[in-house]
Amino acid sequence: MRSLPFPNTFRTTWLHWQESFQHRQQMSGRVASEFLVWRRSFIGDRVRLLAWMVLFAVSISFTLNMTFTIPMLNAAGDPRMLIVGERLRRIVELALTEIVCGVIGVALTYHPLTRKQPEKVVLLITALSLFPSQVLSIVRGEAQFDADIWLLYYAAQAIVIPVKWELHCLSQAIVIGYSVIPFLMGWRDPDVLFSATYVLGGLYIGLMCVVANVGVFLHEQSIRREHDLRQQLRVFLHAVSHDLRNPVIGMGMTLKSFLNPSGRPAQIPQDLLEQMIKSGDRQLELINSLLEAHVTELHGVTLHPQPIQLEALVDSILCDFQPFFKQEKTSITSNLSVNLPTVHADALHLRRVYENLITNALKYNRPGLRITLDAEVIAGNLHKKVSASSRWLRCTVSDDGAGMTPQQCAHLFELYTRGPNKRQSLSLGLGLYTCRQIITAHRGEIGVQSIPEVGSTFWFTLPLDV
């Protein structure tokens, strides 16, 4: 009888999967660093735009003042509005200083420092844009209250560079803090006629800074989320290419080995056929799970709730899993009481939640695992979303397996996320995501508590007061 090539094919597939798993782990660890690299490059590009905007603004402002605003005010004949002599000299001196600083700022953005440390360049551009008036006023022994300029600049900065809110806060604190010094020395702005101007101006500046910083923070969070989704998509495509392609390649190689050039019928051993059929079934299951996850993401979970006795449902699920428990040498304990209240839920979907949690425990842990199922009635504002009179059924699936870190637990229920100790290759990380979708559709919550090398406890809640 000819030798079977399937074991060698299996070893090849296993090596492919090991390479795939290591690649996925590396990709997941790089998502934060990739975002930071992108953010630094983004700030470097946008700070140049900001510098050009500042130079354009001060140049246009100076031109309009000299050709339109000042002549118009002088023509009005109001002595309080006249801009001549020393007052005109100060305005021209400040405008020319701002233009020179604007040119320096633009030139600075073309320096290699902009690529290496763009945050420092942003602070330098801020200083070159807003400090000239403050420095000149202190030299003259006066204060300078540039509320309108600050409002425009910080609004423009938040729009042009909508990332890293900490940088915006620092930029605002440096300039505003420096401008407070003359006021603490008792100096005042000679162009400000009413004290209320300081109060209203300070209020507007404070509101603008808060709104700008919150907007930048929220925008950066959305961008970071987009980067995470792109990373998940790359991980998913890599998983599909390995977890679905490699078994097909293995079966193709096996079938080709039985191809007889003479045309005589090939005899394939029964056990090899069974293994190939199981492999095909697992691939079909993965494809169906992927399609189901897509439909759920678009249309949500459709429920057909009915009164359920949870203890009876769990017993039937454990009976179906007995062959797997025996194969994995798993000890299973159910502490569910027959006196639990009836829960109004979709029996089929609730069964899938338990099946996914149990399957997850078997996949990601060593043989000889101990699994414990429990449920209890809880009341009150447990998740800070319900009234104190609400009652919930809290169900748990615990094991004494490898456990997980808090960082791993934080993303466990996201789409295409896999556990850290996977012993089988065929999985796209859809099980726990599906569980979350089902429990959320029931108006409950799901989570996990885990300690490395101690074990994990998956829990979910179902409302009883329906």
pLDDT by residue, tens only, the chain of 466 residues:
333 443 444 444 444 444 444 444 444 445 567 888 899 999 999 999 999 999 999 999 999 989 998 888 888 877 777 888 888 888 898 899 999 999 999 999 999 988 889 999 999 999 999 988 888 888 888 888 888 888 999 999 999 999 999 999 999 999 888 888 888 888 887 777 777 788 888 899 999 999 999 999 999 999 988 887 787 777 666 666 666 666 677 777 777 777 777 767 777 788 777 777 877 776 776 677 667 666 666 666 778 899 999 999 999 999 888 988 998 999 999 999 999 999 999 998 899 899 889 988 998 888 999 999 999 999 866 555 444 448 899 999 999 998 998 888 887 887 666 555 544 444 555 678 888 989 999 999 999 999 998 999 999 999 987 6
What is the pLDDT, as a whole number, of residue 298? 61
Instruction: Give dist(CA 109, CA 177) in Å, integer.
Output: 25
- For 43, the token pair is 């700030």
- pTM (2 d.p.): 0.56
Closest C-alpha among 266, 163, 150 to residue 222: 163
What is the pLDDT, as a whole number, of residue 419? 55
Instruction: Give dist(CA 24, CA 37) in Å, integer.
Output: 20
- For 318, the token pair is 């454990």
What is the pLDDT, as a whole number, of residue 81? 78
Closest C-alpha among 392, 391, 375, 368 to residue 457: 375
CB 119 within 8 A of CB 167: yes
What is the pLDDT, as a whole number, of residue 128? 93
Identity of the residue numbered 337: S
CB 289 within 8 A of CB 428: yes
Give the H or E element holding residue 399.
strand 391-399
- What count of other Cβ atoms lies within 10 Å of the Cβ of residue 31? 17
What is the pLDDT, as a whole number, of residue 231? 74
398 SS3 class: strand
Burial of 428 from C-beta contacts in 10 A (0-12 / 13-18 / 19+): buried
Roughly how many angstroms between the first and final C-alpha of the chain, as a whole number?
65
- For 111, the token pair is 């320096």
11 SS3 class: helix
What is the pLDDT, as a whole number, of residue 275? 75
- State the DSSP code for 264: P
Phi, psi of 40 (to 5 degrees): -65, -45
Domain 306-463, what architecture? 2-Layer Sandwich (3.30)
Strand 370-379 with 331-334, pairing: parallel
Q: What is the largest CA-CA distance in the chain?
A: 115
What is the pLDDT, as a whole number, of residue 396? 96
Radius of gyration of the chain (CA): 34
Q: In the chain, which residues fall in CATH 3.30.565.10?
A: 306-463
CB 466 within 8 A of CB 442: no
CB 368 within 8 A of CB 335: no
What is the pLDDT, as a whole number, of residue 11? 46
Cβ density class 16-29: b for 16+ within 10 Å, e for less: bbeebbeebeeebe
Instruction: Give dist(CA 62, CA 207) in Å, integer.
Output: 28
